[in-house]
A and B are shown apart, each in its own frame.
Chain A
Amino acid sequence: MTANLSKLLNALGLVAIDTVLVVAFADQLWFRDLPCPVCILQRAGFIAAAFGIALNLIYGPRPSHYGIAILGALAGAIISAWQILVYVVPGSGSYGNTILGLHLYSWAVLMFAVIVAGSAVMLLFDRQFTPTEPLPARLRLLPMMAIALLLLLALANIVSTLAICGFGVGCPERPGGYLIINDSLSVTLLGEPS
């Protein structure tokens, strides 16, 4: 596998992670399914893993970049697995909507596993680590768009998380709505999710 093919595959992987984060946002905004604190941290886990893939696109493929992607995905997977264990016993409840029969935290642990496995498979191809010519201009658009979208999603998550949790360390286990700053500069809860 050449470095350029590796970059293209990494770009597709980054688009896939971007899509996961977009779906999470769509669920939050369209279906008013507010993320819990650990759900928010799982989103951060996806960005932590995606950072390693973004490094491959910016600096070229390196084993250390795949290591970063694996470590980020493992950190996120620990959180997803923990949330699954909280609700694993029948009757212990659940959190949020389901997509194709699985809750978002169940999908998350599967996606983190795919990132770990995908990175491990990519590490098998040594030729990609040989320095080569930069990507042709016509193939540079996809990686740049994928990185720009990831940055945009990270910034959007800052705004969303501030609106849900405010500036404090704690965050409601089951958020009831968005916090807004009213005219008297005090924070109030805006609306209730359906």
Chain B
Amino acid sequence: MMSLPFLLFACALGAAWTSRREAAMGFWLAGVVVFLVLFRIHANEVLNIGL
């Protein structure tokens, strides 16, 4: 699952290189969404700052 953003970005690059711009943008957007979801899952430490 952690490798999914890389897979989606690789697909985006491949699609862009083969002149499928819309598909490339779709893969990139999906990659960013997965990337942020994975960050939310792993960012579970309490920050050492007083706000």
List residues of chain A with CB under 8 Å of any chain B CB.
37-38, 40-41, 43-45, 47-48, 51, 54-55, 58-59, 68, 71-72, 75, 78-79, 82, 85-89, 92, 147, 150-151, 154-155, 157-158, 161-162, 164-165, 167-171, 173
A59 to B35, CA, bound (A): 25
A55 to B6, CA, bound (A): 17
| Dominant SS among interface residues on chain A | helix
Of the four ranges (under 10, 10 to 19, 20 to 34, 35 or more), the interface on chain B belongs to: 20 to 34
Within the complex, what minimum Cβ distance (angstroms) separates B19 from chain A? 8
Within the complex, what minimum Cβ distance (angstroms) separates A156 from chain B? 9
List which B22-51 residues lie within 8 A (CB) of chain A.
24, 28, 31-32, 35-36, 38-39, 41-43, 45, 47-49
Contact B49–A48 (Cβ < 8 Å)? no
Contact A58–B16 (Cβ < 8 Å)? yes
